[in-house]
Amino acid sequence: MAEETTFRPGLEGVIAAETEISWLDVDHEQIVLRGYDLLELAQKCPYLSVAHLLIAGRLPDKEELTALEQEIAQETPLPQPVVDILAKLPRTAHPMDLLRTGLSALGPFDPDLEDHSSEATWRQSIRVLARVPQIIATGWRLQQEEPIVENDPKLGYSANFLYSITGKRPTQTEAAAFDELLAVYSEHELPNSTFAAIVVASTLTDLYSALVAGVASLKGPLHGGANEAVMHMLIEAKTPDGLERLILDKLAAKERIMGFGHRVYMHKMDPRAQLMKTALHQLVAGTPHEGLFDLCVRGEEVMHREKGLYPNLDYYAAPVYYVLGVPIPLYTPIFFAARTAGLLAHIREQYAHNRLFRPRVRYIGPQGLHL
Ligand SMILES: CC(C)(COP(=O)(O)OP(=O)(O)OC[C@H]1O[C@@H](n2cnc3c(N)ncnc32)[C@H](O)[C@@H]1OP(=O)(O)O)[C@@H](O)C(=O)NCCC(=O)NCCS
């Protein structure tokens, strides 16, 4: 039988899965989430509603949302051995390494671990939504030798997440901006981390193993790690002129500018970046951070002029995190926490319609050798 000869490096443009969860409708500059527009959802619905839409397949009514919030609150405390494992990791470890290890350690504590039924993976999803923020915040506070912050029952999901990291109760504006940021990051079709997670899930291994594959993928600087690099660049640049010089120097040295370009959008604006740009503008207005917005805009202008490239979500999300007081090493872990909603949805969908991923290669090595 003739071999399929089409080879696309990086699987660029290849349709690798059929899904009801989301789609990047690039022509219409829209990110479709179960029929809705992601940007509209992010502006009008709390993150947990978007998570419910993704994982359960429909938006929750008021009672369902309250029930979800209560169930998450009950599942929030981490098993003590998981806290102990986090405490034993080097103080210098990157928070993504803490998250990967913590999530891996959490799996065996889940009573539904080996059950792939829809009911069991829903219960697991609630535990994951509850505990991933806890792993991130607890790991960070342990590293900083700061006391672990218990959730405040008066605060919502996103406000508590931010509070558990910073130890400072966010204002309503800050909580709303963080909630919008989580919703914007919640799902994005088939990026490397989601692909990694469904490839792993297709062996019918457990849901936590598939999520751990997602963390491992997201850590890379070409994927989730870009948001941290963006903030370091903005801090180093200090002023718009400084940023212009920095970008030109990097481009002259053939370096990539983090926060620009995207495999799917590439020469179009990532619609999520536009939303975060607006959020940043509102957040810094009248604060000492006002200059940060002009700084970012200059970077955007320079990259468009020099390379015809547009910012991706990470470019404008990084300064939003910064203004909210989130420590830079936590930018990628928080991206993952937000993305658990999408990942859980994809893993559940994979279990429900499974076909093992097993592609082929184009062999370019020698043949017919003998010892
Ligand atoms: C996201 C990314 C990996 C997509 O890359 P890709 O689809 O593999 O695209 P390519 O690497 O083929 O790049 C195409 C061209 O654009 C250039 N390019 C792409 N992103 C660039 C960037 N951030 N800075 C400078 N040049 C860039 C490449 O150098 C290449 O130019 P060339 O054709 O002259 O060699 C890439 O844009 C990138 O590295 N961005 C920075 C990291 C980042 O922000 N990641 C977060 C993504 S949400």
Using one digit for the tens of pLDDT, what is the confidence trace for 194-239? 999 999 999 999 999 999 999 999 999 888 888 999 999 999 999 9
- Of residues 94, 223, 289, 304, which has the active-site annotation? 223
Active site residue 262: yes
**What's the mean per-residue pLDDT of the chain?**
96
Instruction: Please give the average per-residue pLDDT across 168-182, as a whole number.
Output: 96
Q: HSE, CB side, 13 Å, CA atoms: give it for residue 327.
A: 18
Model confidence at 2, pLDDT cuts 50, 70, 90, reads very low
Model confidence at 313, pLDDT cuts 50, 70, 90, reads very high
Domain residue limits, the chain? 22-219+328-352, 226-323
Which H or E run includes 31?
strand 30-33
Give me the pLDDT at residue 1, please. Answer: 44
Give distance in angstroms: CA of 261 to centre of ligand 1.
Answer: 5
**pTM assigned to the model:** 0.94
- Of residues 188, 262, 270, 346, which has the active-site annotation? 262
Pairing type for strands 36-37 and 30-33 reads: antiparallel
The hierarchical CATH code for the domain 22-219+328-352 is 1.10.580.10
Give distance in angstroms: CA of 200 to centre of ligand 1.
Answer: 26
The hierarchical CATH code for the domain 226-323 is 1.10.230.10
Q: Exposed, middle or buried, 104 (CB in 10 Å: 0-12/13-18/19+)?
A: middle
| pLDDT per position as a tens digit, 262-309 | 988 878 889 999 999 999 999 999 999 999 999 999 999 999 999 999
Q: Whose CA is nearest to atom 36 of ligand 1?
A: 261
Pocket lining: 262 vs ligand 1, CB cutoff 6 Å: yes
Token look-up 């939003």 returns 320
Pick the more confident residue, 224 or 356.
356
Nearest to 195 by CA among 354, 16, 356: 16
Active site residue 223: yes
Nearest to 172 by CA among 182, 183, 162: 162
